[in-house]
Structure 1
Amino acid sequence: MTLSHSDLTTKDNKMGLLTLAAVIGGGAGAVVAAPVVLGVVGFTSVGIAAGSVASQMMAAAAVANGGGVAAGSLVAALQAAGAAGLSGAATAAVAGTGGTLAGLAALII
């Protein structure tokens, strides 16, 4: 069986649209999932949950910094996002990362 140029173009267009849909869906899904994931690991609106992954991260950060968690550290940024939600920049970063990963997955599959 021989494929014509129009067959290849149609196939390429479909793959392009599927990849675009994956990128958009991945970006939107990541933005929706981020607050849920933050809560699940222990970064909540009322503070870090005792016994959680977040509390273990905070303890490790405190030990590494001589007893306190440094402002601007990963733990501090995640707690801020858990307490107040994602900032505009964080939302853009999460959407970009989710979209990129979904797009790569669509190209691989």
Structure 2
Amino acid sequence: MGLGTLILAGTGGAAFIAAAPFVLGAVGFTAGGIVAGSVAAKMMGAAAAASGGGVAAGSMVAILQSAGAAGLSAAANVAVGVGGALVGAAIAI
């Protein structure tokens, strides 16, 4: 693995971590709740219909809303950073 790959991997990891809160907000997962008419609202509607009227705790919608409201946990930041690093390293290849 060359220096260029390491630089792009680090840049990708940092960029993904920095972008995650903005992406969550852009799709409708905000500190104030799910934005009406957004992608998040459509996901919530589908999840509620699939589970009989409510969004199940621990579901993807619940996890994303929690991240949108309170920010990403340390473990989630690590996962997002690793994903970004992998993308950055793949670009370098």
TM class by shorter-chain length? over 0.9
Please report how far the alpha carbon of residue 105 of structure 1 lies from its aligned counterpart in structure 2 after TM superposition.
1.5
What residue is the counterpart of 1:49 in the other structure? 35
What residue is the counterpart of 1:7 in the other structure? none
* Count of residues in Structure 1 that have an aligned counterpart in Structure 2: 93
What residue is the counterpart of 1:12 in the other structure? none
Please report how far the alpha carbon of residue 100 of structure 1 lies from its aligned counterpart in structure 2 after TM superposition.
0.6
| Matching residue within 68, 75, 84 for 2:54 | 68
Aligned-residue CA RMSD (Å): 0.8
User: 2 CA distance for matches of 1:106 and 1:66?
Assistant: 46
What residue is the counterpart of 1:104 in the other structure? 90
User: 2 CA distance for matches of 1:33 and 1:51?
Assistant: 22
Q: Deviations over 1:30-51 (max 9, x none)?
A: 0000000000000000100000
After TM superposition, the structure 1 = structure 2 runs for residues 21-100 of structure 1, keeping only pairs within 5 Å, are: 21-100=7-86
Higher relative contact order (CA 8 A, sep 6+): 2
Please report how far the alpha carbon of residue 106 of structure 1 lies from its aligned counterpart in structure 2 after TM superposition.
1.2
Consecutive unaligned residues in structure 2, runs of 5 or more: none
User: 2 CA distance for matches of 1:70 and 1:93?
Assistant: 23
Query: If you compute each CA radius of gyration, which structure gives the higher value, 1 or 2?
Result: 1
- Partner SS, residue 58 of structure 2: coil
